[in-house]
Every structure is written in structure tokens, then in C-alpha cells.
């Protein structure tokens, strides 16, 4: 499945706000995505 990967040096400080925005219906999950430059560790929100 195609996804957009966004990157931010300040992401750690934004997790609480992002988690609150997604709400209890979603959970944050660590995944490995394949890119043209190779594998990349990323976070996604999945249905809880």
C-alpha cells in the first residue's frame, strides 16, 4: 500500500497532541516501510 512518510526533528514533542487528535479509536504502531532508498522505521495509526 502506498503511504506518505513525514519526518520532523521535533516529532517527539508532538506525540501527545497527535495521539489525542487520533483518539481512542486508533493506536500508534511502529512499522518498517520499504522506500526507494531502502527500509525505513516509521509510525502509523491503526484501528484499535
Mean pLDDT of the chain: 93
pLDDT value, residue 3: 82
What letters, b where the CB count within 10 A reaches 16 and e where it falls short, cover 7-46?
Answer: eeeeeeeeeeeeeeeeeeeeeeeeeeeeeeeeeeeeeeee
| Tens of each residue's pLDDT in the chain, 48 residues | 888 888 899 999 999 999 999 999 999 999 999 989 999 999 999 999
- Predicted TM-score (pTM) of the model is 0.78
CB 45 within 8 A of CB 25: no
pLDDT value, residue 5: 86
Question: How far is 38 from 28, CA to CA, in rounded Å?
Answer: 22
pLDDT value, residue 43: 94
For the chain, which residues make up each domain, given as ranges?
24-48
DSSP bridge partners of 38: 35
pLDDT value, residue 26: 98
Amino acid at each position: 500500500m502506498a503511504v506518505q512518510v513525514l519526518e520532523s526533528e521535533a516529532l517527539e514533542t508532538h506525540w501527545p497532541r497527535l495521539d489525542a487528535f487520533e483518539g481512542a479509536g486508533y493506536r500508534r504502531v511502529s512499522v518498517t516501510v520499504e522506500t526507494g532508498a531502502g527500509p525505513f522505521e516509521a509510525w502509523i495509526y491503526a484501528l484499535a
